[in-house]
Chains A and B, each alone.
Chain A
Amino acid sequence: MVLRSSEITIIGGGIVGLSTALGLLQAGLRVTVLNGADGDFRASQGNFGLIWLQGKGADFAPYAAWTREAVARWPEFARALQELSGVDLALQQSGGFEFFTDPDEFTAFAQSLAQQQAHLGPRFSHEMIDGDTLRRLHPEIGPEVVGASFCPLDGHVNPLRLLTALQRAFVTLGGEIRTGAQVVEIAQAQGGGFDLRLKDGTHLGAPRAVLCAGLGSSTLAAQLGFATRVSPQRGELLITEKLGPRLGFLSSTIRQVDEGGLQIGGTKANVGPDDRETLSEINALARHAVTVLPALADVRVVRAWGALRVMTPDGYPVYARSPQHPGAYLVTCHSGVTLASLHASLLADWIEDSAAAPDLEAFDDHRFALSAAA
């Protein structure tokens, strides 16, 4: 077997790593993805699958614009990816709700969305719907729901099939995925490029390296001189038995997966590297579900689980080139599904620094440099 040397190595085989890798591959590079172990924390295998705009970047216009662009690019991205992989992503972008039972939270969120509307202008639209109006549209909504926001641009996808599709498409186009390759150390190699030491003791050379290792990024990022430290934020989810009838809507906390089960989620807890499901959140999620949709009371939960979000200190993505180590990049974000359409397209231009490269200065890692130094 002839080993073809890759021009760029992606550290991390989740949705962020693979979509970035796919974009670079399609830009003509020889790309290798290093995928860690089966038991690693993997947001890509535990997430909610939203392609979501409402509320994103209300306080940070560049993120609002970047997410808006991602959402716009999803239909074409999904079409191409499905064709390459033969995997149905079950993409739906027909709008989504956020439900509220607390009037104050409803009002506060209205202000957030107004701000997002101001950032995005005609590229965004949303509605705030009071409870009674909502129940006229969807009589199945429970009486305790005081209102909902609705954004027609929101949607969702089957996240597990997105992961599979990215793997298949990448391999189909000639990309190489090395499994069980846990990078524990990265250093500048003599004579250029990087030396990656794997957990099993072997070394790999990489002319250039993109760090997309999710929660595994922090240590490696420090070795490359990046200031960003990501931290885990646990979200807990429930999945129910399959239902024949379709829910008439999508929401940020209750969605029907295309196989028929309902996913219920949206909890947040900063508890370190602990992805266990808890009784209190199982209870809270179930209460939320039957409050929003009382008819779900007799629907059985098949499984609960926790998964860890990959959070930067301010919650916004980081796209950064290492100043000390040219050829090293850090790509990390919480919304790997939503942003996949950009990671597989514009991000390659940015990494390649081509004429089409987007301006991602606002997402640079130097915004954390001060706090890291302190």
Chain B
Amino acid sequence: MTIDSRFLPRPDAGALLHMTLDGAPITARAGDTLAAAILAASGDASRHSTMGTPRTAYCMMGVCFDCLIEVDGQPNTQACMVAARDGMVLARQNGARGLRKLSSTPAQSNADG
């Protein structure tokens, strides 16, 4: 089911950033957080909780953790705290996050910042 965005279409702002959300193209404007881009695109849930209830970005300031999505393979990322970038691969989460494969996650993967 696809629900229209709950926000008005934005006036044309020139260059757009191109990302995908669950494989479908989604655009953002420079300066958008991922949460803003998703809310501009769709009124659907951006995740389902571990109990299966629909949620989407809520507080927009990093407090509530309802906007968690998978960003370039990294689950439970706060969409309202990350700026949109060209080429990002976004995925809605259903239930609790998964664990990366051993081979793709060396222990130092977070140390290079």
Residue numbers of A with Cβ under 8 A of B are 139-140, 142, 241-245, 259-260, 290-291, 294-300
CA distance A140 to B99 in the complex (A): 11
Pairwise interchain contact B96-A295, C-beta atoms closer than 8 A = no
The residues in B between 76 and 113 inclusive whose CB is less than 8 angstroms from any CB of A are 76, 95-102, 105-110
Total interface residues in chain B, CB < 8 Å:
17
Residues of A contacting B102 with CB < 8 Å? 139-140, 294-295
Grouping DSSP codes into helix (H, G, I), strand (E, B) and loop, the A interface class, with mixed when no group exceeds half, is loop
CA distance A300 to B100 in the complex (A): 13
Q: How far apart are A4's CB and chain B's nearest CB, in angstroms?
A: 41
Smallest Cβ-Cβ distance to B98: which chain A residue: A244
Candidates B76, B100, B109; contact of A241 at CB < 8 Å: B76
Pairwise interchain contact A243-B105, C-beta atoms closer than 8 A = no
Smallest Cβ-Cβ distance to B49: which chain A residue: A242
CB contact under 8 A between A295 and B76, given known A142-B107, A260-B50, A290-B107:
no
Pairwise interchain contact B105-A295, C-beta atoms closer than 8 A = yes
Q: How far apart are A88's CB and chain B's nearest CB, in angstroms?
A: 15
Q: How far apart are A2's CB and chain B's nearest CB, in angstroms?
A: 43
Grouping DSSP codes into helix (H, G, I), strand (E, B) and loop, the B interface class, with mixed when no group exceeds half, is loop
Q: How far apart are B62's CB and chain A's nearest CB, in angstroms?
A: 14
For the complex with contacts A295-B105, A297-B106, 20 further pairs of A-B residues with Cβ separation under 8 Å are A142-B107, A241-B96, A242-B50, A242-B97, A243-B97, A243-B99, A245-B98, A260-B96, A291-B107, A294-B102, A294-B105, A294-B106, A294-B107, A295-B101, A297-B108, A297-B110, A298-B100, A298-B105, A298-B110, A300-B76
CA distance A259 to B102 in the complex (A): 23
Residue of A259, A260, A297, A298 with highest tally of chain B CB at under 10 A: A298
Question: Which 3 pairs across A and B sit closest by C-beta, in order of nearness?
Answer: A244-B96, A242-B96, A294-B107
Smallest Cβ-Cβ distance to B68: which chain A residue: A241
Pairwise interchain contact A295-B97, C-beta atoms closer than 8 A = no
Q: How far apart are B55's CB and chain A's nearest CB, in angstroms?
A: 14
Pairwise interchain contact A243-B96, C-beta atoms closer than 8 A = yes
CA distance A193 to B77 in the complex (A): 60
CA distance A279 to B108 in the complex (A): 19
| Proximity string of chain B (64-79) to chain A, C-beta cutoff 8 Å, 1 when within and 0 when not | 0000000000101000
Pairwise interchain contact A298-B107, C-beta atoms closer than 8 A = no
What are 18 A-B pairs at a CB distance below 8 A?
A: A140-B102, A241-B76, A241-B97, A242-B96, A244-B96, A244-B97, A245-B98, A245-B99, A259-B50, A291-B107, A295-B100, A295-B102, A295-B105, A296-B99, A297-B108, A298-B74, A298-B109, A298-B110
Smallest Cβ-Cβ distance to B74: which chain A residue: A298
Q: How far apart are A119's CB and chain B's nearest CB, in angstroms?
A: 38
Residues of A contacting B107 with CB < 8 Å? 142, 290-291, 294, 297
Residues of A contacting B97 with CB < 8 Å? 241-244
CA distance A57 to B109 in the complex (A): 41
CA distance A289 to B110 in the complex (A): 14
